[in-house]
Chain A
Amino acid sequence: MNHFFPHYQTTAWKIGSRQLNVVIESDAVIRNLILTVLLLGSGILSLSIGTVYVSPDQVIKALLGEGDSMTQFLINDLRLNRILAGIYTGAAFSLAGCLMQNVARNRLATPGIIGIDNAAMAFAVASVVGIGISLSPSHMALVGAATATALAFAIGGGSGTRGYRFIVAGLGIGAVSGAVSQLLLSQVHIDVANAAYPWTVGSLSGRDEEQVPWMGFITLLAVIACIILTRYFRLLSFADSVIITLGQKPNQIRFLAVVISVTLTGFAVAMSGPIGLIALVGPEMARTFAKHKGLPLVSSAICGAILMVLADLVGRTILSPIELPVGIVTAVVGGPYLIWILIRKPKQSSL
């Protein structure tokens, strides 16, 4: 193997009588290690900057349970949860985006663009403003995400070769969902509308503390699932006839990818509201790091987490003491970045 594919490593284990042969791409491992270090750096930076500045080494000490109790309280109890929420949701949005782009074979087809974020938001808002359903906003967000996906697939008639029908159907669903959210907000008392507002812009400040570990657990599960399933997800870049000839079922693979993508998006919107741009920019950044080779799912997750943490940091500090919702920061910073990436490489118009 090494002779042919120098940047791949085959690792063989023996478990009982079974021989395990796993291919590990050393390029990807190194890339993801570097990105993880960057993510840790961003997280520590974000933990240290705030109304009270704490130096990075103090932050690390506090995280390790050392240093004075005041700093420990500030870092571990007040700030850490928000940063973790940012890491988890950022990774979730970005991984979901990379998966959906791969399914639709189109770089524009992220959950945000095809209306999943908006539908999740509409359902969450509906639950906040008191449509008579006993589900919590987070659960409603999940239901909304699933509904939008089902609709987009039904109207678009499957993902198609280039996913255009799917995207157009999704755009419509997104627009309708956005309108429904606005309509709901305009119909209720201002206090109720205020309570629902964080759901519509995307912010890490309105999160439910108890959900953070859950979000982390689900994101971690999805990343592990993607590491195992990359082998199959990669096939989606081929025509269906090729996938079938290679002995796999394209619809099953697509279904798996869509389920993971929608679950991640639903949970992430439930926590932070719609921050769709992460799903476009995160995978794009990962592909740039991966030199446009392969399907960088894990890198997409880490890049999304970095982007979210940094965007939240900017939002908290740039107009301090006023806090900009992270959704607005990603839109302002991510939008131009995305345009730059798209015009910089006009020939790579496919996925």
Chain B
Amino acid sequence: MTRSSTHHSSRVQPLSSLSTEHLKLAHGARDIVHDLTVHFPEGKVTSIVGPNGCGKSTLLNGLARIHKPTAGDVKIDGKDIHSIASKKVAQKLALLPQETLAPDGITVKELIRFGRHPHQGLLKQWGMNDADAIKFALNSANLSDLADRPLDTLSGGQRQRAWIAMCIAQETPLLLLDEPTSALDLGHQIEVFDLIRDLSSEGKSVVMVVHDITMAARYSDHLIAMKGGNIIATGSPKDVITQPLLKELYGIQCDLFEDPKTGTPILLNVQRAS
């Protein structure tokens, strides 16, 4: 990746803390997330894992205030996000959603420019910071050469990086990602995960929903395992990923090995638990 290190130091945001207190989320009358109290460690990459329908995406949407809680709070730096002005929250927290509907014919840098929206207003439509932030986002996501390309002419991996770049331009201490690699091939998955690690090492707290448990283990500092709307385990990937837990989460049994390079768990001989 070609990046100028001079930009790095100037665009780091102070850490912010993200937590929930007795959070309850429901779809209509059906409770999805029950009484959840959790703290997401600052400056780390946290992955939420669990089977389909366990409430992990709903939780992420709850954290991003897209899904309103029926009870409890989501707190940024100790303050309930629904009591803070929406624009102020948007300066603290960015989300990479799964739905990637975008205006027709939009170019990469125009998309990234939308990330500056929370920092702008009717009377301040463009500030000194905006150009720097966009330039930084382009560099971080390694998209400088593609800045003028229409979004719909990019490959899946490039497009995903463009959306992440939009989040980077938002300059938030907190970044949420909803299955950031779900539609990508292996090479592009690694590319996106590497980018996420880079962002974390620059001081962002990252919370993401990931399906692939091996990938989650390899690229996260912290795992949260969910089942049926409850958290059943939290901790470092090594501590969380155990045979009993995998059986409880996915109904599978497997052999666990340690990745010789990263020390993170690898699943082998996966089969349905008898």
A interface, CB within 8 angstroms of B: 1, 3-5, 10, 18-23, 105, 161, 228, 231, 234-235, 237-242, 244-249, 291-295, 348, 350-351
List residues of chain B with CB within 8 A of the CB of A244: 64-66, 86
B interface, CB within 8 angstroms of A: 61, 64-66, 85-91, 93-95, 97, 99-106, 109-110, 113-115, 117-118, 122-127, 130-131, 134-135, 170
A231 vs B114: C-alpha distance in the bound complex, in angstroms? 10
Contact partner of B104 among A21, A161, A231, A237, CB < 8 A?
Answer: A237
A240 vs B86: C-alpha distance in the bound complex, in angstroms? 14
B88 to chain A minimum Cβ distance, whole angstroms, is: 8
Besides A239-B99, A294-B103, 11 other A-B contacts (C-beta < 8 A): A5-B110, A5-B113, A22-B125, A228-B122, A237-B102, A245-B66, A245-B170, A248-B87, A293-B106, A295-B103, A351-B103
**Interface contact A237-B101, CB-CB below 8 Å:** yes
Could you jot down 18 A-B contacts, CB within 8 Å?
A4-B109, A10-B125, A21-B123, A21-B127, A23-B126, A105-B101, A228-B122, A231-B122, A238-B103, A238-B114, A239-B99, A241-B97, A242-B97, A245-B64, A248-B117, A291-B105, A293-B104, A293-B105
B210 to chain A minimum Cβ distance, whole angstroms, is: 18
B106 to chain A minimum Cβ distance, whole angstroms, is: 8
Contact partner of B90 among A19, A241, A246, A293, CB < 8 A?
Answer: A246
Nearest first, the 4 A-B pairs at minimum CB distance are A247-B90, A239-B99, A237-B103, A247-B87
Known: A228-B122, A239-B99, A239-B101. A245 touches B94 (CB 8 A): yes
**Interface contact B127-A247, CB-CB below 8 Å:** no
**Interface contact A161-B131, CB-CB below 8 Å:** no
Known: A20-B123, A247-B91, A292-B105. A241 touches B117 (CB 8 A): no
Contact partner of B86 among A19, A238, A247, A351, CB < 8 A?
Answer: A247
List residues of chain B with CB within 8 A of the CB of A247: 85-91, 117-118
A249 to chain B minimum Cβ distance, whole angstroms, is: 7
List residues of chain A with CB within 8 A of the CB of B106: 293
Interface of A is mostly: loop
**Interface contact A351-B104, CB-CB below 8 Å:** yes
List residues of chain B with CB within 8 A of the CB of A350: 104
**Interface contact A10-B126, CB-CB below 8 Å:** yes
List residues of chain A with CB within 8 A of the CB of B118: 246-247
B167 to chain A minimum Cβ distance, whole angstroms, is: 8
Nearest chain B residue, comparing its CB with the CB of A23? B125
User: Of residues B61, B94, B123, which shows the largest number of chain A Cβ atoms within 10 Å of its Cβ?
Assistant: B123
B154 to chain A minimum Cβ distance, whole angstroms, is: 16
Nearest chain A residue, comparing its CB with the CB of B93? A245
A1 vs B130: C-alpha distance in the bound complex, in angstroms? 8
**Interface contact B125-A245, CB-CB below 8 Å:** no
A9 vs B105: C-alpha distance in the bound complex, in angstroms? 20
User: Of residues A18, A23, A228, which shows the largest number of chain B Cβ atoms within 10 Å of its Cβ?
Assistant: A23
User: Of residues A5, A18, A23, A228, which shows the largest number of chain B Cβ atoms within 10 Å of its Cβ?
Assistant: A5
List residues of chain A with CB within 8 A of the CB of B124: 19-21
**Interface contact B134-A4, CB-CB below 8 Å:** yes
List residues of chain B with CB within 8 A of the CB of A10: 125-126
A1 vs B104: C-alpha distance in the bound complex, in angstroms? 22
Known: A1-B126, A21-B124. A245 touches B95 (CB 8 A): yes
**Interface contact B127-A4, CB-CB below 8 Å:** no
List residues of chain B with CB within 8 A of the CB of A23: 125-126
A212 vs B41: C-alpha distance in the bound complex, in angstroms? 64
List residues of chain B with CB within 8 A of the CB of A5: 109-110, 113
B157 to chain A minimum Cβ distance, whole angstroms, is: 20
List residues of chain B with CB within 8 A of the CB of A293: 104-106
**Interface contact B90-A245, CB-CB below 8 Å:** yes
A129 to chain B minimum Cβ distance, whole angstroms, is: 44
**Interface contact B105-A239, CB-CB below 8 Å:** no
List residues of chain A with CB within 8 A of the CB of B170: 245-246
A248 vs B118: C-alpha distance in the bound complex, in angstroms? 8
List residues of chain B with CB within 8 A of the CB of A351: 103-104
A323 vs B87: C-alpha distance in the bound complex, in angstroms? 55
A350 to chain B minimum Cβ distance, whole angstroms, is: 6
